[in-house]
């Protein structure tokens, strides 16, 4: 329950969902609240007057108005699941069942007995909605935390679930994770009324009383909502998704003088964007978040309060400003000529990538020595792996000096870090865009679908309740660019009536999304979700006496070595200035059909898991992850399920048996010279398991490299591709896609660099295309 409510700070100028004053016409209570337009759930709260002396009252009155499709709702006024008071409620046999919970980690929260919650008489339940009005006493403070009822800057969290709790009669029942969640801005300091008003309502009375905030009365037969305050201003370009593709495209198009609105569904990431999720050792000492510090990469996957992962996608995907570029290891390989070749599926018009890659490199030069003192740290793994590969003919090089050389080469891992901190488009392209008056960034704004009249897109529908219908319009001849990633952009297309019929019917049957779809006569049948690639990856785990596995990164977020903390805080140098990968290598492998498939290797200290019969020293572990990359033959399919959650439908790994046999050959090559490295021992697989047996038994769920590409593949023919050579969606006049989903096949290395180069070229092509604003 309430799994990903991470404690978030925000930039007020870009947070559009805000609580507004309203009066429930059925009970006369003056609430401050908002309505989520996706689920049509209204959340409202009002507080007693502030104390003139001593502590403030520890209570409030709240209400939620919920369509019956939602089986239960939950909220945390602090905006965090961890160490916060959580409240959940659901109807059962004509009554509201209430459960207060508390959790110290990312598990099903325990029942928390502190609050006293009284359901008030204006609570109603009917065939379409249930409205719960309640008094919550002892609810603004709890074990280890509180909310500041005097603060003008708060971000409460909410969640809903379409899956019933296990035992609806039991407030302590088990329940599965919510199916959606969100945040909004709330000025607690304004949401107070007089003692006379509050005491009347708290005792079950109705009517406005006297005094209190200025309110707006809304007449409605089903819900009590804060009315929209305005019609949104139109833009030349609306860009959906603040990841690498969206940020670079937004910067280049705004640079050309066009008005640009960049909508990001998540919140801030790095400190300069308004993020405040700090490692404990940086609090009060440096303006650093988890996302700023390169060495905290491994903790992205182990932190119990991991609010940065999308909860409506069944693979790892970043839902915050920067997207995957804010939470990845930032490995950064300048694309090769082959990466953009017709052999790799690109149209001829895209093969001249060099000018755009040069533009990218000028804005964001890669580095394989990210520590500000120019030194490399924790490099024992690089040394050992180099000793393993050198007898096989590998040459040690600076990898980005010659991007076209990818056979039997190895070198230090390269990143897009800047000054010992995470760099990427957030630190570069976004900052220049933010300096322009014709550019606007808006966070916490989830685009649900594009609004179209046949082939013409008129704008986008969002969850933003501050504008009428959540609708953001385009200027005449304006354009929408989807940059939500391989899963996110595909889902927006499905919800907009674009894609295979089976996916569109799932949307049509959804009670919330279905009514927003165009009529079936306007559906556009394109292979959205097909042709998907991801690197199949296999981990080999070793030990060597020289290795320092850095405690397997276990306490790097909460309590890394004091000397490393001091060094990093002093000048952004040392171990914490680099993500965990230490060395990368490539080799060309001959497949049995006579073609070539490339293998990339990444070596890092530590291990995610291991399975061995050996006794071994855990502090000496390191991992080599071997990926198949350029030339991989398998393809899969992604889509949505009945809950509209993005999910793999056909896994893209080892669909073609040549991929498996080729990777087995590559793994056997890697370990073939182990005997020439004294002290080197492989513990997974150990000597009781052959490489083929190990690969055959490998859990497909752990083969995901999170390098998904191809769901909206680029091409020249509608039906075989989703977007044309200008990245325009076939069958539309003004809808484009610029993200990893248009990449037709995997590049040699991690696709981060290729996505950014692609965005540079895509922006130029879109601007040059006739008919635009």
Tens of pLDDT, residue by residue over 322-357, are: 999 999 999 999 999 999 999 999 999 999 999 999
Residue 139 token pair: 């609810």
For position 213, what pLDDT does the model report?
34
| Active site residues per annotation | 707
Interval 93-140: pLDDT, tens: 999 999 999 887 666 788 998 899 999 999 999 988 999 999 999 999
Interval 297-331: pLDDT, tens: 999 998 877 889 998 899 999 999 999 999 999 99
For position 401, what pLDDT does the model report?
97
Percent of residues, the chain, with pLDDT higher than 70: 94
For position 652, what pLDDT does the model report?
96
The residue among 712 and 277 whose pLDDT is bigger is 712
Neighbouring C-beta atoms of residue 519, cutoff 10 Å = 8
For position 614, what pLDDT does the model report?
81
Band the pLDDT of 763: cuts 50, 70, 90.
very high
**Would you call 69 exposed, middle or buried from its count of C-beta atoms within 10 A (0-12, 13-18, 19+)?**
middle
For position 536, what pLDDT does the model report?
97
Chain centroid, CA 156 distance in Å:
19
Band the pLDDT of 469: cuts 50, 70, 90.
confident
Tell me the CB-side half-sphere exposure of residue 201, using CA atoms within 13 A: 33
Band the pLDDT of 2: cuts 50, 70, 90.
very low
Q: Going by DSSP bridges, is the β-strand pair 86-92/157-161 parallel, antiparallel, or unpaired? A: unpaired
Residue 627 token pair: 């990926």
Q: Of the ranges 24-28, 430-434, 501-505, 692-696, which one carries the lowest mean pLDDT score? A: 24-28
Strand order in the sheet with 596-605: 395-396, 409-412, 583-590, 596-605, 621-628, 537-543, 681-684
- For 12-202, which CATH superfamily applies? Cellobiose dehydrogenase, cytochrome domain (2.60.40.1210)
Tell me the CB-side half-sphere exposure of residue 740, using CA atoms within 13 A: 25
Q: Radius of gyration over alpha carbons of the chain, in Å?
A: 27
Entry pTM: 0.78
Answer whether residue 554 shows pLDDT above 70. yes
For position 8, what pLDDT does the model report?
32
Q: Of the ranges 8-17, 447-456, 613-622, 761-770, which one carries the lowest mean pLDDT score? A: 8-17
Answer whether residue 537 shows pLDDT above 60. yes
DSSP letters for 603-650? EEES-S----SS---GGGEEEEEEEE-TT----BEEEE-TT--EEEEE
Per the CB < 8 A criterion, the answer to whether 236 and 478 are in contact is yes
For position 106, what pLDDT does the model report?
60
Residue 494 phi, psi dihedral angles, 5° rounding: -55, -45
Helix-helix angle 485-495:501-508, to 10 degrees: 70
Answer whether residue 3 shows pLDDT above 80. no
């Amino acid at each position: 329950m309430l799994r990903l409510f991470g404690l978030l700070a925000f930039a007020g100028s870009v947070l559009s969902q805000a609580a507004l004053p309203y009066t429930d016409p059925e009970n006369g209570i003056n609430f401050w609240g908002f309505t989520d337009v996706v689920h049509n759930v209204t959340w409202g709260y009002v507080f007693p007057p502030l104390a003139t002396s001593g502590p403030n009252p520890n209570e409030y009155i709240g209400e939620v108005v919920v369509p019956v499709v939602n089986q239960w709702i939950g909220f945390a006024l602090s905006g965090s699941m961890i160490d916060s008071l959580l409240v959940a409620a659901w109807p059962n046999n004509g009554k509201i069942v209430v459960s207060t919970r508390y959790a110290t980690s990312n598990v099903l929260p325990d029942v928390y007995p502190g609050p006293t919650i009284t359901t008030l008489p204006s609570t109603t339940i009917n065939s379409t909605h249930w409205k719960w009005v309640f008094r919550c006493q002892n609810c603004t403070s709890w074990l280890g935390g509180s909310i500041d009822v005097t603060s003008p800057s708060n971000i409460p969290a909410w969640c809903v679930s379409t899956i019933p709790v296990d035992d609806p009669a039991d407030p302590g029942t088990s329940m599965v994770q919510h199916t959606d969640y969100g945040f909004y801005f709330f000025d607690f300091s304004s949401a107070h009324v007089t003692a006379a008003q509050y005491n009347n309502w708290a005792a079950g009375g109705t009517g406005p009383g006297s005094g209190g905030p200025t309110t707006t009365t809304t007449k409605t037969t089903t819900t009590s909502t804060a009315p929209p305050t305005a019609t949104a201003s139109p833009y030349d370009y609306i860009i959906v998704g603040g990841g690498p593709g969206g940020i670079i495209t937004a910067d280049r198009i705004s640079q050309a003088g066009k008005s640009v609105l960049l909508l990001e569904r998540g919140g801030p990431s790095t400190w300069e964007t308004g993020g405040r999720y700090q490692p404990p050792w940086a609090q009060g000492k440096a303006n650093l978040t988890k996302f700023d510090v390169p060495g905290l990469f491994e903790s992205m996957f182990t932190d119990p309060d991991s609010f940065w992962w999308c909860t409506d996608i069944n693979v790892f995907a970043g839902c915050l400003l920067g997207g995957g570029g804010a939470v990845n290891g930032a490995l950064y390989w300048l694309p090769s000529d082959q990466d953009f070749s017709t052999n790799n599926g690109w149209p001829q018009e895209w093969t001249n990538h060099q000018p755009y890659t040069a533009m990218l490199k000028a804005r964001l030069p890669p580095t394989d020595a990210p520590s500000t003192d120019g030194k490399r740290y924790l490099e024992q793994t690089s040394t050992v792996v180099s000793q393993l590969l050198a007898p096989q003919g590998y040459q040690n090089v600076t990898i980005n000096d010659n991007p076209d050389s990818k056979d039997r080469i190895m070198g230090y891992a390269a990143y897009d870090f800047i000054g010992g901190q995470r760099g990427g488009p957030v630190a570069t392209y976004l900052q220049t865009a933010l300096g322009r008056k014709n550019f606007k960034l808006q966070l916490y704004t989830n685009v649900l679908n594009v609004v179209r009249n046949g082939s013409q897109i008129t704008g986008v529908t969002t969850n933003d309740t501050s504008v009428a219908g959540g609708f953001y319009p385009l200027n005449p001849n304006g354009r929408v660019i989807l940059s939500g990633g391989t899963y996110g952009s595909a889902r927006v297309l499905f919800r907009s009536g674009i894609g295979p019929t089976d996916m569109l019917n799932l949307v049509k049957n959804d009670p919330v999304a279905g009514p927003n779809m165009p009529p079936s006569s306007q559906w556009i049948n394109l292979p959205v979700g097909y042709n998907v690639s991801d690197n199949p990856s296999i981990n080999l785990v070793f030990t060597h006496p020289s290795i320092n596995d850095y405690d397997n990164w276990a306490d790097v977020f909460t309590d890394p070595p004091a000397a490393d903390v001091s060094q990093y805080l002093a000048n952004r140098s040392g171990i914490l200035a680099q993500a965990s990968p230490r060395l990368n290598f490539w080799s060309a492998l001959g497949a049995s059909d006579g073609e070539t498939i490339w293998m990339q290797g990444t070596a890092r200290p530590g291990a995610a898991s291991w399975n061995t019969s050996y006794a071994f020293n855990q502090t000496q572990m390191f991992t080599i992850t071997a990926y198949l990359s350029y030339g991989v033959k398998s393809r899969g399919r992604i889509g949505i399920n009945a809950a509209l959650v993005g999910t793999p439908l056909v896994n893209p790994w080892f669909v073609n048996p040549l991929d498996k046999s080729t990777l087995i050959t590559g793994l056997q090559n890697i370990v073939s010279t182990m005997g020439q490295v004294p002290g080197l021992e492989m513990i997974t697989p150990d000597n009781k398991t052959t490489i083929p047996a190990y690969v055959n038994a490998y859990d497909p769920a752990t083969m995901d490299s999170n390098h998904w590409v191809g769901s909206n593949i680029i091409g020249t023919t509608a039906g075989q591709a989703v977007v044309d050579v200008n990245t325009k969606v076939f069958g539309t006049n003004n809808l484009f896609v610029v993200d990893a989903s248009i990449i037709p096949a995997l590049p040699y290395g991690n696709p981060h660099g290729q996505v950014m180069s692609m965005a540079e070229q895509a922006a130029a092509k879109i601007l040059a295309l006739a008919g635009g604003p």
